[in-house]
Chain A
Amino acid sequence: GAVVSQHPSWVICKSGTSVKIECRSLDFQATTMFWYRQFPKQSLMLMATSNEGSKATYEQGVEKDKFLINHASLTLSTLTVTSAHPEDSSFYICSARDFAGGRMNEQFFGPGTRLTVL
Chain B
Amino acid sequence: GESVGLHLPTLSVQEGDNSIINCAYSNSASDYFIWYKQESGKGPQFIIDIRSNMDKRQGQRVTVLLNKTVKHLSLQIAATQPGDSAVYFCAEILIGYNAGNMLTFGGGTRLMVKP
Contacts and interface: CB of A to CB of B under 8 A. Distances in A.
Interface of A: 4, 6, 32, 34, 41-46, 49, 51, 57, 59, 91, 93, 95, 105-112, 114
A46 B1 contact: yes
B contact patch SS: loop
Given A6-B43, A107-B103, 6 more contacts: A42-B6, A43-B105, A105-B31, A109-B45, A111-B42, A111-B43
Contact of A44 (B3, B45, B49): B3
A109 to B, nearest CB: 4
B3 A110 contact: no
A34 B108 contact: no
Contacts of B93: 105
A contact patch SS: strand
A37 B89 CA distance: 15
B5 interface: yes
A91 to B, nearest CB: 8
Interface of B: 1, 3-8, 31-32, 34, 36, 41-46, 49, 89, 93, 95, 99-108
21 contacts: A4-B43, A42-B3, A42-B8, A43-B6, A44-B44, A45-B105, A46-B1, A46-B101, A46-B103, A46-B105, A49-B100, A57-B101, A91-B41, A95-B43, A105-B93, A106-B46, A107-B103, A108-B46, A109-B36, A109-B45, A112-B42
Contacts of A105: 31-32, 49, 93, 95, 102
A42 B106 CA distance: 10
